[in-house]
Chains A and B, each alone.
Chain A
Amino acid sequence: MYIPGLKYHRPRTLNEVYHVLKTNDKTALLAGGTDLLVELKQGIRSFDSLISLKNITSLTKITENNDEVIIGSCATHNQIADSEIVRNYIPALADTCLTIGTHQIRNTATIGGNLCTCASCADSAPILIIYNATLEIGSESGNRLIPAYEFFLGHHVNALQKGELLLNIIIPKHNKDFGAYFEKFGLRESASISVASVAAGFRIENNKIINANIVIGACAPTPIISEKAISLLNNSNIEELFKDSELLGKIGEAAASEIHPIDDIRASAAYRKEIVNVITQRVILKAISKVNK
């Protein structure tokens, strides 16, 4: 197990990054490296060169403006979990980051890396979709914005074009009237890969759920927006939503019906559906409890 010989670029500015990206074939951007280096060692992926983002310190910043939280793509998971700004406006993202990997991994692994690696089980993806995140993508020819949901094209396939780089994750600030929650189901208490995961978020107005969204992770090549479950949840009365309630059961079943997972080493497809059913219900109740009524 070793990393095959390769070239190492360490550009000092974004423009240099774009230049190196453009002029090198078979190259990869190196952020935290916790996925990339393992895949290089295992020989699953190979590159002629790596482009380190270490010197692009602007990408590690977490900032805010009046309406948005802006997380640099090279912010680590622990950095996000510890961020006051994130805790204030998008707390479920902070909690989600703490469910990923181990402490050591979270100190190195970046949110941009998690998104761009684009594994089907990427745990940061569902909650970012719930928070309506937009991804800012840069290239030599300028920056573009795309909704987070459109970024995930398949397992290990993202929407970045050649020469592009994920710069920032821009997330609208959410007031305390927005409840969101993410839960993953893993096979041990820590450092486990998601068998299935669910994120949900909504507002409550006059005891009614509005602007609901439910996203399921690890059950398809990309995160799945659970339309049927969402339509059942929207406009429902929160008094009808309690453990084992008929409505909640229907929502869980709807969520399970919308996924077409696979059998793998961690679970069968059928079991994943059962888990999604259960977790969806739990996540909705948790999200309700997060709304500051």
Chain B
Amino acid sequence: MKQIININVNGNEYEIAVKPNETLLDLLRDELKLTGTKRGCDSGDCGACTVILDGKAVNSCLVLALEADGCKVETIEGLAYDDKLHPIQRAFVEKGAIQCGFCTPGMVMRVKSFLDENPNPSKDEIKKELSGNLCRCTGYQKIFEAVETAVDYLNGRVPQVIEYQPQKSAMNLSVVGKRLPKIDAPDKATGRALYTDDISLPNMLYGKALLSPHTHAKIKSINTVKAKKLKGVKVILTGADVPDLTYGTSPPRYDENILAKDKVRYVGDVVAAIAAVDEETCYRAMELIEIEYEILPAVFDPFEAMKENAPRLFDDKYENNINTHVDHHFGNIDKGFEEADFIREERFVGNRTYQNPLEPHCAIAEWDRHGRVTLYTSTQVVHYVHHQLTRILGIPMGDIRVIMTNVGGGFGAKAATNILEVLSIFLAKRAGQPVKMKFSREEMYLYGRGRHKQYIDLKMGVKKDGTITALKQKVVLEGGAYSSFGVVTTYYAGSMHATQYKFDNYKYDGFRVNTNLPPCGAFRGHGCPHPRFAFESLLSMIADDIRMDHIDIRLKNAMTPEYHTCNDLDIHSCEFKACLETVRKKSGWDEKKGKLPFGRGIGIGCGGFVSGAGYPIYRSQFPHSNAIIKVAEDGSKAVLLIGDADIGQGSDTVLAQAAAEAMGITLDKISVVSADSDLTPIGFGAYSSRVTLMGGNACKMAGERVKEKILFAASEIMGIEKEKLEAKENMIFVKDSPEQNIPWHQAGFHYFSKYGPLVGEGHYSPPEGLGGKYKGAAVGTSPAYSYGATVCEVEVDTETGKVKVLNFWDAHDCGTAVNPMAVEGQIEGAVVMGMSETLFENEVFDFKGKMINPDLHNYLIATSADVPDMHSTIVDSYEPAGPFGAKEVGEGATLPILGAVANAIEDAVGVRIKELPITPEKILKAIKEKNNVK
């Protein structure tokens, strides 16, 4: 029964009836429509729902609304005044402390309460006090800087300006190459930015998916009669109610039903869908659905799964549960090992990790009366969702509108069509009402699509001088129940060794194996981080064997520009050696390596990634990225319509910079509409680190076309030949005498008045024919590759094995950094995520195959208190295939970290941990074993 409470929120008095089981977070978001406060975990672990309650920061998800009776609540919406940002918000915007923005409102409120109590905190206090607010994007570094800046503002001081030395390739540019705040940051800082769960449509229902409690079972019968009778339940769908087809991510492996047809294959497999007046009713209905299961034997270990008599997940395919097999041989592996003076082989094991974007997946579907459906969703890949929906629904693209709202991080977790997107549409169709579906944090883990756990046997041969003569890798990927991205993952696990270092003889065997666990998919660095960890570890071990410096052996084998790899990939720009030299110098490598006291150590790791996959996920002739720029009638502003998705990485800003540079206007003269299939032309989305290069090229082309037209118009006004004119920083001037000029907008106004709409279109497709002719040659192709090197310094508690990472020095070749502040943000986020995966993260399952830690309490990710000092360098580089010379950094920057940390630990305490995560327990055990041997 509801009870009346009186509550003051942001100075406004409310008298409102609430239910006893409603939390303060429910009240704020659902009743008062103050959606700035976010729901990240609903369990008090992430801090996204932080509000200030009677002067104290609390997790509003853990306060009953009734308990807040008579209290004063401050939320993010109450912080800015008179349209002016609060100094903390301003600092967050200016310092690049906001990426996806989902943690931002809670973080800002915590900073507010913290600085109210402690107006002049030390850096250590900041790190410690913000540790109740998890951020998965930024690596916290820019947040610390923002807090320091906010302290300056609040104390009436002028913050120190960071001197930034532009790259050579950006010297003559006016928008690209500048450290500019993200254009969406003010909305995210104020809680105004709408994420899918912040939207509620009139007459909207709520939907939930009923997940399988069993790892492997036949569905004998489903009875929904009782559940349908429950008051408030509108629709219940089971496998019999949806089209009999399979879908997935990679076309050769579409193997997921919309709802389970005959059997379930993991705890989390989707069995039924419910739409009801509220989520609570959905949950109650779930308990009333009667399902008779016949339990089948299950298998969780990939090696067990490959055995002859192992339980099979699919009877009609994937013999021995082998979902994908890759058999690659380049050069002559036997000859390569014969040429080696030294050979070493080791087994490395990765960990099953989950992306954990702070925002849980959410989708809202609404059908109109003309048979057209609109889907609002938290996705990285509007077009692939769109494409998949046309298949599933059997209606053309034009009858489906997919709108990406703000997305609270993805990292691969939202890189494919998910079950909420599909089911909300079916439920909405049947109900005749809009339906919203969202995952809880637990459901995110259970639905899965995180990193494959890889078992890697890596064998390397080198000459005395360190030259690699042969590399042989066998990888078994534990893939979970369905394919997801797994085919591609399996290829990636092998293909990217050859782009980092030069060697001619390479053999790779990859086996992706199905198990009765949540399906694995694409996670930052897709398939590559574990093999990279193995390679970087083994290379350092071999260097020790042949008494060679770890950086020297890397320089010896490092990739160089304009190189054709043994697996037929073409490298163009490559400043890998410059990265290595940079971190060697900045970290004080030569003074430290092997010379630090026991317990302290330093290690190197390297990595890099594609700047966009050379080929789309399904066969398609569409250009990969497309842009339209529409200039306002009075020439005052341009709108960029772009299909690619800003999931927090900042692509809206970066693409706007590329377009603005090309048009000759400043960033404040452009706004962006992105990832709405009705308004924006196709962009393949935010995956494979493709947006800066591919989207950037499309935007640059569109901008250049606008510039052509605007110069034409200006030449008419000025009576000067078009070829003699140039546009820059909102002015059009004569190249040889810049004092002869007119404002850009005047030319825009003139153009529209005389010729109608001023529009420019751009598109980008990778060069044709990338890659070799062998099976799987497409994976690893890209117009360009990024490079990076990282030195890590650690301190290991030799009595407990606990690691404290002290420093990361990293250098990256990302071509021209379109927005160096955003690049730093990507690097810092990647570094901390990589560190977190290396030291903390692991999905654990019980003997029945049920995940034990599907929450942010037991599945640990790095907090602000775990973050070391980071020293990043962007090296001079220019990539001819990229817009203004740019290429990727977001995924590549994760790759060096795992090996760097492992190598640093080895340097500190003399033990080599080859199985992730590197826990204190493993380190201590290894130290003890080593001492016993002595």
Contact = CB atoms under 8 A, between A and B. Distances in A.
B64 A37 contact: yes
A26 interface: no
A51 to B, nearest CB: 11
A245 interface: no
Interface stretch (A101-109, A127-135, A199-207, A232-240): A101-109
A267 B20 contact: no
B56 interface: yes
A190 B131 contact: yes
B21 interface: yes
Contacts of B20: 5-8, 50
B66 interface: yes
Interface string B1-43: 1010000000000000001111100000000000000000011
A1 B799 CA distance: 41
Contact of A190 (B58, B441, B865): B865
B21 A6 contact: yes
Given A188-B862, A190-B131, A52 B66 contact: yes
A190 B57 contact: no
B799 A189 contact: no
Contact of B57 (A54, A104, A191, A193): A104
Contacts of B129: 103
Interface in A255-292: 265, 267-268, 271, 274-275, 278-279
Interface in A145-185: 185
B729 interface: no
B128 interface: yes
Interface string A8-29: 1010000000000000000000
B442 A192 contact: no
A48 B19 CA distance: 14
Contact of A191 (B42, B66, B863): B863
Contacts of B21: 2-6
A3 B64 CA distance: 10
Nearest to A38: B43
Contacts of B279: 2
Contact of A37 (B23, B441, B852): B23
A105 B59 contact: yes
A187 B860 contact: yes
A189 B844 contact: no
Given A188-B840, A190-B131, A268-B921, A104 B59 contact: yes
A30 interface: yes
Contacts of B59: 34, 104-105, 108
B42 to A, nearest CB: 5
Contact of A3 (B23, B58, B440, B802): B23
B280 A2 contact: yes
Q: How large is the interface on A (under 10, 10 to 19, 20 to 34, 35 or more residues)?
A: 35 or more
Contacts of A190: 128, 131-132, 863-866
Interface stretch (B44-52, B521-529, B651-659, B823-831): B44-52
Interface residues of B, number: 57
Contacts of B23: 3, 37
Contacts of A4: 21, 280
A103 B128 CA distance: 9
A41 interface: yes
A188 B62 contact: no
B865 A34 contact: no
Contacts of A278: 799-800
B44 A189 contact: no
B374 to A, nearest CB: 27
B924 A271 contact: yes
Interface string B777-808: 00000000000000000000001101010000
A5, A41, A52, A191: residue with the most chain B Cβ atoms closer than 10 Å: A191
A34 B572 CA distance: 55
Contacts of A268: 921
A34 B62 contact: yes
Interface in A179-228: 185, 187-193
B67 A265 contact: no
A32 B1 CA distance: 22
Interface string B850-875: 00110001101011111000000000
Interface in B882-934: 919-921, 924-925
Contact of B853 (A2, A38, A50, A265): A265
Interface in B42-87: 42-45, 47, 50, 56-59, 61-64, 66-67
B860 A275 contact: no
Contacts of B864: 190
Nearest to A187: B860
Given A37-B23, A191-B132, A104 B63 contact: no
A30 B66 CA distance: 12
B234 interface: no
A185 B802 CA distance: 9
Query: Residue among B50, B802, B864 with the most chain A CB within 10 A?
Result: B802
B800 A38 contact: no
The 6 closest A-B pairs by CB, nearest first: A102-B132, A190-B131, A8-B20, A189-B865, A190-B865, A3-B21
Given A6-B20, A193-B857, 16 more contacts: A4-B280, A7-B20, A8-B66, A78-B56, A103-B114, A104-B110, A107-B57, A108-B63, A185-B802, A187-B840, A187-B920, A188-B840, A189-B131, A190-B865, A191-B45, A274-B800
13 contacts: A1-B440, A32-B62, A33-B62, A103-B114, A104-B132, A105-B62, A108-B58, A187-B920, A188-B840, A190-B128, A191-B865, A265-B844, A275-B800
